Amino acid sequence: MRKGLSATLVAATFALGSTGAAMAQDYPSLNLKLAHFGPSNFTGSKIDKWFADEVRKRSGGKVRIQIFWSESLGKANEVLDLVASGAVDLGATSPGYFPNQLPLTGATNSVMMQFNSNEAATRATAELVEKFPAVRKELERAKVYPIFFHSLNTYRPFCTKPIEKIEDFAGLKVRSWGEYIPIMWQALGATPVSLMTPDMYESLQRGTVDCAFWPHELNYTMKLNEVAKYTWAGDVNHFGAIPTWPLWVNWQTWHEKWPDSVRKLLTEVGLEAMERDIKAVQEDEKKALDVMVEKSGVKVVDFKDMDKVRAKIPDLADAWIEKMKARGLGAEAQEIADYWRKRSAELN
């Protein structure tokens, strides 16, 4: 259920001025390049295409965004630096890939089992930028700013063999990333294997991993159902939802170079895009699983040990807080985690 608009984007919109929408002649001519880590057929990618088209339309054709899909302008773990350096105007990649630059901002993208819905994960994360000075300072140091966030549904293993009980995790090679998901797999006796998005199909096909770890709509989009046939479903058997990539822009460009008219336009369209994304991701989840089961022979395993899984895995937010203490960010991390836990309870 929708619980209101993102506080971050609403506040940003009003901060840019209370006048009506700028007329086309108020916009400078901008031809912007967006380096995207994903393919054009992701649900969120379709939202990015809508965002680019809508910005062009509302600016009277003056602000144009050309999207370069599937790492064609840089690898997923390079896109943030490309934006920060000004090599590209905009970027799309997940903050969790950058634990050194974005230890606070990227936490909700890496710390699983905190949110039960994509809506809760995305709204809480967007609000962190507005409410926590430590997050904004981190973004300024990294020289990037998120225009809006995308969302992903609950994560589940998608495997070449069935996981029917907790003991089946022992020895499995499972897709991982960041600093905190490995803790989860190791607690279950599995082996984490760090994989970027484009590498999962071939890794399953070759046996480099036994399990992908993604929401169903992305498993289907990336055709993982061709090389893996076992997964979970339902309201209980999952590891939580997370926010995913924002559209990144260079911090200085956003705050100092672009006029208010451009920032206001991108903020307003970004707010609408985030709302569209939350709804579209939810709708595509069930469609994808139904198609994979009916047409690809994917089997939904009746896993009955989720309570044991939750008991076995330490709270990853606490693990994150401990790591942040070692970086001198313990107090900030505790405050941020307390906030997202509260918002998760309110929004789920």
Domain ranges of the chain: 7-16+27-151+245-283, 156-239+285-347
84 CB-side CA count, 13 A: 16
Confidence (pLDDT) at 177: 86
Residues of the chain with pLDDT under 50: 1-22, 24
Question: CATH classification of 156-239+285-347, choosing from 3.30.565.10, 3.40.50.920, 3.20.20.20, 3.40.190.170?
Answer: 3.40.190.170
User: For 284-339, how does the pLDDT look when each residue is reduced to its tens digit (9 = 90+)?
Assistant: 999 999 999 999 999 999 999 999 999 999 999 999 999 999 999 999 999 999 99
Alpha carbons 157 and 180: distance in angstroms, whole number? 16
The whole-number pLDDT of residue 247 equals 98
Distance CA(243)–CA(9), nearest Å, equals 15
Q: What is the pLDDT of residue 334?
A: 98
- Beta bridge partner(s), residue 92: 36, 247
**Residues forming beta bridges with residue 191, ordered by sequence position:** 173
Q: Please indicate whether the domains covering 7-16+27-151+245-283 and 156-239+285-347 agree at the CATH topology level.
A: yes
145 vs 253: CA distance, rounded Å: 9
CB 33 within 8 A of CB 291: no
The tens digit of pLDDT for each residue in 106-137 reads 999 999 999 999 999 999 999 999 999 999 99
Separation CA 233–CA 303 (nearest Å)? 9
> CA 319, CA 33: separation in Å to the nearest integer?
37
Token pair for 324:
């942040």
Give the CA count within 13 Å in the CB-facing half-sphere of 338: 8
Per-residue burial over 245-259, b if 16 or more Cβ lie within 10 Å, else e, is bbbbbbbebbeeebe
In this prediction, residue 198 carries a pLDDT of 83
DSSP string over 247-284:
EEEEHHIIIIIS-HHHHHHHHHHHHHHHHHHHHHHHHH
pLDDT at 344: 96
pLDDT at 25: 57
Global model pTM greater than 0.75: yes
Tokens of 113: 């089992």
Q: What DSSP string describes 137-193? A: HHHHHHTEEEEEEEEE---EEEESS---SGGGGTT-EEEE-TTTHHHHHHHTT-EEE
Domain at 7-16+27-151+245-283, CATH class: alpha beta
pLDDT of residue 2: 44
